[in-house]
Amino acid sequence: MSIFTPGIMALALMSSVAIAQSPSKWIFAEQDFVLTPHEQLVLKADALKGSTKAAARLTHFYMNVVLDLEEGLRWAIVGAENGDPVQQYEAYYLLSIRASEEDRQRAGFWLHQAAEQGYKPAIDELEHSASTVR
């Protein structure tokens, strides 16, 4: 079992707070991420066949709706392996905050992969970390 920082869990919980439009109707900010059991099955199969969009949808579902950080990381890594620089950056971030030194080392791999594809946040992160080391 890995350990995520309490701040990340609190952020995940706060992001699921519903916004009331009227007393009888609630709208959740994450409702676009909700997946039916059938959609989950189809997206999992698609992601495992190489779909970056399917992996991203699963990542968002597990991170924002189910609040399962382990499963969210799993699908972020699948998306990263499928070549999506956004998912590579998400895998970097999720691995970088874990307790395991090996996970944090692997985070650097995904950060470099995303930067090599021109993903600006990854490039900025590398530049920032290079400037703080000097």
Over the stretch 16-68, which tens digit does the pLDDT of each residue have? 444 434 445 555 566 778 888 999 999 999 999 999 999 999 999 999 889 99
Average pLDDT across the chain, whole number: 83
Q: Report CA torsion sign: 50, 53, 56, 58.
A: negative
**Predicted confidence band at 78 (pLDDT cuts at 50, 70, 90)?**
very high
Tell me what pLDDT residue 27 has: 55
Rounded Cα distance between 78 and 43, Å, is 12
Q: What is the DSSP letter of 34?
A: -
Structure token digits, residue 86: 């956004």
